[in-house]
Amino acid sequence: MQKYSLAIHGGAGAILRSEMTPERELGYRSALLAALGAGEAVLRNGGGALSAVEAAVVALEDNELFNAGRGSVFTHDGTNEMDASIMCGEKLQAGAVAMVQGVRNPILLARRVMEASEHVFLCGAGALRFAQEHGLEEAPPEYFFSPFRFRQLEEARARGLVQLDHSRKYGTVGAVACDAHGNLAAATSTGGLTNKKYGRIGDSPIIGSGTYANNRTCAVSCTGHGEYFIQGVIAYDLSCLMEYKGMSLQEAADFVIHHKQQALGGDGGLIAVDARGNLALPFNSAGMYRAWVREGEEAGVGIYE
Ligand code: ASP
């Protein structure tokens, strides 16, 4: 048995202290700590890494502050299309969904795809049909509507921009965990980019880009400009640097975010944990909503550098 560790993120980007009010900051901090607490409760009670990351991400998806589940941003057409994925580092099993509408918790759907289908990745109408066949909870469009997000869409449309959930609220959520048996898991969920068109899918549901877990190396969940994370195959690259080059978790995580991503021009960050429970949470943007805990230690929470 070993000590467990857990980290979560609520998105990275242009999160500026100057644009934050004390109330809003408090809201984010307490939401992050609540989601961390939901995941930690699983680990404290002897649960596995997979259930811990699922519990933390469900809590984040249910909170409209974050761009995932309930708080998902709007597409160009004014809909919410969500992407999510989950991976188990022990068995290298994974489940992912993309362009899903009307499912309350896409991360639960991704896990169901992993455990109850013969596939890894389902999208759009097919993913919804699978969700219905498996009795996953649906939610009407009003559940996903927030005036703030809609204003973001109107602004983005007016300026012809496809944007990260930049301005005030930033999005995408994720969790990584190492449980008492040294098993690793990662989960990521997002509404993607405001004003996205044409069936755009980001890195979050792509195993190896936005999410990866392997007990031999690490578990990773990314956030930021998805196109660059796909091109850089960032989550798997981090794992490979550890496996084939013998880098430590921190060295490999810093390399992919501060050198590789930066050189590609992509901003963002990631959270990662290795099988000894070490954590790394690098980002090259102004901020990243994040929280972390190791068994027996006090939880940490951060927004800016
Ligand atoms: N990576 C996500 C995407 O491109 C966005 C984010 O992390 O905020 O869909």
Residue 156, pLDDT score: 83
CA of 221 to the centre of ligand 1 (A): 11
Does ligand 1 have an atom closer than 6 angstroms to the CB of 224?
A: yes
Separation between Cα atoms, residue 77 and residue 198, nearest integer Å: 10
Among 57, 72, 152, 193, name the best residue to mutate to test ligand 1's pocket (greatest count of ligand atoms within 8 A of Cβ).
Answer: 193
254 band by pLDDT with thresholds 50, 70 and 90: very high
Distances (CA, A) of 235 to 27, 76, 161, 207, 220: 29, 28, 27, 8, 6
Residue percentage of the chain with pLDDT more than 90: 83
Domains of the chain: 5-193+201-297 (3.60.20.30)
163 band by pLDDT with thresholds 50, 70 and 90: low
Residue 179, pLDDT score: 98
Separation between Cα atoms, residue 121 and residue 85, nearest integer Å: 9
CA of 70 to the centre of ligand 1 (A): 16
CA of 106 to the centre of ligand 1 (A): 15
Separation between Cα atoms, residue 45 and residue 29, nearest integer Å: 24
Annotated catalytic residues are: 172
Separation between Cα atoms, residue 132 and residue 97, nearest integer Å: 14
Residue 8, pLDDT score: 98
Per residue in 10-50, pLDDT (tens digit) is 999 888 888 889 999 999 999 999 999 999 999 999 999 99
Q: What are 70's two structure tokens? A: 């309930």
pTM for the whole thing? 0.95
Does ligand 1 have an atom closer than 6 angstroms to the CB of 71?
A: no
